[in-house]
Structure 1
Amino acid sequence: MPMGDSTVTTVEEGREQAAPRPVMGAPEQGFLRRRRVPRRPRLWFEILLIAVSYWTYSLIRNAVPEQRHEALRNADWIWRMEYHLGIAVEDSVNHAVNSVTWLIVGMNYYYATLHFVVTLGVLVWLYRSHPGRYAATRLVLFATTAVALVGYYFYPLAPPRLMPHENFVDTVLVHQTWGSMASGDLKHMSNQYAAMPSMHIGWSLWCGLTIFALASVPWVRVLGLLYPVLTLVVIVATANHFWLDAVGGMLCLAFGYTVARLWYGSLPYALPRVVTDGREERRLASAKA
């Protein structure tokens, strides 16, 4: 989809081709200073980094002990608390959407695919169109995912579809679709009790905010905001998450933005869109000499 520069960043157009400079206020020296300077990403490094990071994330997530009894106890507690607060809507949404076969089947595939496809698509778009903002925005995503691993370890949580004494429908099993690595023949490849926080929400909201902040086409910006909203409906309708899991994902994302803000001294979207790399900086300096 066509994406361009957001009008909110036009004030920086005069400095978009500037050489790298520190974005932190205090003078810094050496390696740490260089790491905090926005720079042009290198394709080979980014591919390797993303591949290794996702492999590590999957390894750690699946290495967390599947504490079934504790995970079910936590799920019961959340479900009772939602009922007490009058916000327990997951079963109603699950059954209502499950009654429309084409809709729930579509949501099963949505849950299984777009989580990865859209996130990778946004990363590629950032790399190509906003290289100066790429590293900081990628840091948000990585920090969000890293803190989620802490939640998986210390708060095992069963998804609604695995609660034995409730009437939730496991839509992947019922409709025999390929829709979740935590159901059917693939369930042994994924930790089924890592539902809190929801990274479907953490990642989709990261995508949505990035698109909204940086895309220039109005309808694309609207789609960016709708994407995490629709994802929330999907994770609840397929009984893969309580909606409070989404709150956990939002808190993890807030942590990710805080890390990027502290490291770069600015939110990612306020950084220059384009920066020169070290070789270009040295070439410019030589030309002036």
Structure 2
Amino acid sequence: MASDTLSRRPPTLRRIRTDSRLATAAKEIAFLLAAALLYTLVRGLTSDRVDAAFRHAEDVIAFEKTLGINVETDLQGLVLDHQWAIDAANGFYIYGYWPVFVLTLAWLITRRPAAYPFYRNALLASGAFSLVIFAFYPLSPPRFLPWHGFVDTISLEVPTYRDMSSSRLVNEYAAMPSLHFGWILLLGIAWVALSRILVLRIIGAVMPLLMFAAIVLTGNHYVVDAIVGGGVVVAGIGVAVLIERHKRRRAVEAAIDDARQAADDGDGSGSAIPAQRTPNLTRVR
């Protein structure tokens, strides 16, 4: 009898939260699948623009020389004679991206669900900006230009990874912006802002610096790619801020409507909230 009573009890708060997080995870899978499909379509748009990608690469190199930041080959020259440095750069480029990406999103969903939508929106917005750049400005990565002195360290040391990343589902002429750097910058910001553990906050602050070194030392990106990658992430954060402000404004307006309705239901006069006070309330952030 007691067991029947227990089985008929309403769901606990923990179960409700678990179900909500599972629903959120399902939606995020859908988002990622849609993003992957869109990325594939953009890859199709740029695959027949190889000549433009190499012309743009020459333009980027010339632009960096003008600014005095054409330092990629000089930096590579510092590590090519040190196997441990090459291994470290290759390893962080490979394992410091998707694993960190997935684990951070999982942590946000499960441990910081209130903050997750902000970073999700920033991620999607920066990705959308990047897709536009990929479509209209195909760019060959440095590793495709060995005559400039660039070395593809991953092809030399980890050819299996390069073989996998050379499939038809990967846009090899989308060097700008560097989402390897940009998205790790965004995730690092999340670590610094939301983690309660000092060591993790320090790691979050260092991760973008390590990824910047990795993308340059492996011959996968130019310095300008990282700058633009950081720029699209800042723009994505701006979009996320606007979305949050819009959500808060809608919540305040809904609260005002509910209060007015309650007042109308209570005395029928609708005068519980004076009309002249409403503008002050709607300015709440």
TM-score range, shorter chain: 0.7 to 0.9
Contact persistence 1:260–1:266 (CA under 8 A): no
Q: Deviations over 1:98-146 (max 9, x none)?
A: 2222321332232223211101111111111111121221111111111
The CA deviation at 1:84 is 2.3
The CA distance in 2 between the partners of 1:177 and 1:95, in whole Å, is 21
Does residue 240 in structure 1 map to residue 220 in structure 2? yes
The CA distance in 2 between the partners of 1:92 and 1:69, in whole Å, is 26
SS of equivalent residue, structure 2 residue 221: coil
* Residue in structure 2 matched with residue 224 of structure 1 by the alignment: 204
The CA deviation at 1:164 is 4.8
Matches within 5 A, 1:251-262: 251-262=231-242
Q: Which amino acid aligns with 2:105?
A: L
The CA distance in 2 between the partners of 1:60 and 1:102, in whole Å, is 38
Give the number of the structure whose residues are more often helix, by fraction. Answer: 2
Change (3 A) 1:90 1:160: same
Matches within 5 A, 1:126-275: 126-180=108-162, 186=166, 188-265=168-245
Q: Which amino acid aligns with 1:124?
A: A
Contact persistence 2:92–2:210 (CA under 8 A): no
Q: Percent identity?
A: 31
TM-score, normalised to structure 1, is 0.72
Contact persistence 1:90–1:237 (CA under 8 A): yes
Q: Which amino acid aligns with 1:215?
A: S
- Aligned-pair Cα RMSD in Å: 2.4
Q: Deviations over 1:159-215 (max 9, x none)?
A: 1111253111111222244344686xx354422110000100111001100000011
Q: Deviations over 1:192-246 (max 9, x none)?
A: 1100001001110011000000111112101101001100000000010001101
The CA deviation at 1:40 is 6.4
Change (3 A) 1:231 1:267: farther
TM-score, normalised to structure 2, is 0.73
The CA distance in 1 between the partners of 2:154 and 2:21, in whole Å, is 42
Change (3 A) 1:108 1:181: farther
The CA distance in 2 between the partners of 1:157 and 1:47, in whole Å, is 29
Which has the higher relative contact order, 1 or 2, with Cα contacts under 8 A spaced 6 or more apart? Answer: 1
SS of equivalent residue, structure 1 residue 178: helix
How many residues in Structure 1 have an aligned counterpart in Structure 2?
A: 228
* Residue in structure 2 matched with residue 109 of structure 1 by the alignment: 91
Larger radius of gyration: 2
Gaps of 5+ in 2: 1-19, 249-285
Q: Which amino acid aligns with 1:220?
A: L
Contact persistence 2:21–2:110 (CA under 8 A): no
